[in-house]
Homo-oligomer: A and B are copies of this chain.
Amino acid sequence: MSKNAISNSVIRRLPRYYRFLGELEKKGCVRISSRELSEKMGLTASQIRQDLNCFGGFGQQGYGYNVKELRGVIGNILGVKMNTPTILLGAGNLGKAIATIDFCKRGFNLIGIFDVNPELTGKTIGNLEIRNTTELESFCEEYKPIAAVLCIPKASAPETAERLISYGIRAFWNFSHYDLSITHNNVIVENVHLGDSLLTLSYGLNSLEYDSEE
């Protein structure tokens, strides 16, 4: 099976499947039908069957999916056990909040936090000490991080990203409000635009107002 065959919209749904199946497993649920799963997730049963067929034939007619097995397979596709060494740049409020996310459960291992502000140097977030950005290059040489979380201002994002790529970074989780478009081979970016998400809510509310006026 080639992974390239999985469409982007299925990929976007995988983390949600993984999360829901995890909650079911915690509750001691062993098997679930596509109908039950669809009700919990707000998708149609046929969409779930189609999605899960992309990774091979799970579930049997009238028998349902084995929750633990299916979660394991999706977890492997998502790479949750990769434990990729990861650094975070920018220890402001957002950086501090992001640093407390459980990276390990999601395939990453946060090993360093950096900030340009020397007053933050030596302070800790969780069990990690904040380092000054001047240490970045030597840190990367020694610990070889592969992923970087950017919680830095928009203006410094493009230059910082280029520098990090030259230090060996190949994956960016980018909160910097700047669409990183990486032209390098084998480098990937997940841009998070919280403002776009807020605009989507605004659209929804605007549509509600519109509908109720009709």
Contacts and interface: CB of A to CB of B under 8 A. Distances in A.
A36 interface: no
Interface in A164-214: 170-173, 181, 186, 188, 190, 192-212
Given A188-B204, A205-B170, A206-B107, A195 B79 contact: no
A80 to B, nearest CB: 7
A48 interface: no
The secondary structure that dominates the A interface is: helix
A78 interface: yes
Nearest to A105: B195
Given A108-B201, A192-B194, 13 more contacts: A12-B200, A15-B193, A15-B203, A19-B193, A78-B203, A101-B195, A106-B198, A108-B202, A146-B205, A147-B205, A170-B208, A173-B198, A192-B197
19 contacts: A3-B210, A3-B211, A4-B207, A15-B196, A19-B193, A79-B202, A80-B199, A84-B205, A93-B93, A101-B194, A101-B195, A107-B198, A146-B205, A171-B201, A171-B205, A188-B205, A190-B197, A190-B200, A192-B194
